[in-house]
């Protein structure tokens, strides 16, 4: 039985959490964002430089929890599709990581 990555109720709303998972056989940093009962995941790699987005562990959102924010140059990304709407990588996307939700449990798809 595969263990879930997390449970929705364990994330703040809105909130985010960083994880390391195996994708295509490679250990990869990702993060999960919760908004309401929806969850989204992306690779922890900014399209601007490829660096990580978090400004401290598990913190990937701006002050209002409206957008994902890169800690390095403050690019803002839409939570639901990872589109950059402001910053040096405007109109580029974060790389999504497909999830599967069963009840409250969140798994890699």
> In this chain, which of 21, 45, 48, 62 binds ligand FES, going by CB under 6 A?
48
CB 35 within 8 A of CB 13: yes
* Residue 46 lies near ligand FES (rule: CB under 6 A): yes
CB 71 within 8 A of CB 80: no
**Complex with ligand FES: residue 7 or 73, whichever CB lies closer:** 73
Cα–Cα separations (whole angstroms), residue 19 to 49, 79, 87, 93: 20, 17, 25, 20
* Chain centre to alpha carbon of residue 50: 14
> In this chain, which of 10, 12, 20, 51 binds ligand FES, going by CB under 6 A?
51
Binding segment for ligand FES among 14-22, 24-32, 83-91, 98-106 (CB under 6 A)? 83-91
**Complex with ligand FES: residue 53 or 106, whichever CB lies closer:** 53
**Interacting residue ranges for ligand FES, rule: CB under 6 A:** 46, 48-49, 51, 70, 72-73, 75, 87-89
């Amino acid at each position: 039985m595969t263990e879930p990555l997390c449970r929705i109720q364990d994330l703040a709303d809105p909130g985010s959490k960083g994880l390391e998972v195996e994708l295509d056989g490679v250990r990869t940093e990702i993060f999960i964002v919760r908004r309401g009962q929806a969850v989204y995941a992306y690779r922890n790699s900014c399209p601007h430089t490829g660096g990580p987005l978090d400004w401290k562990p598990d913190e990937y959102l701006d002050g209002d929890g409206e957008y994902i924010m890169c800690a390095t140059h403050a690019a803002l990304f839409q939570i639901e599709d990872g589109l950059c709407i402001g910053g040096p990588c405007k109109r580029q996307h974060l790389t999504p990581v497909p999830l599967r939700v069963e009840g409250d449990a969140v798994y890699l798809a």
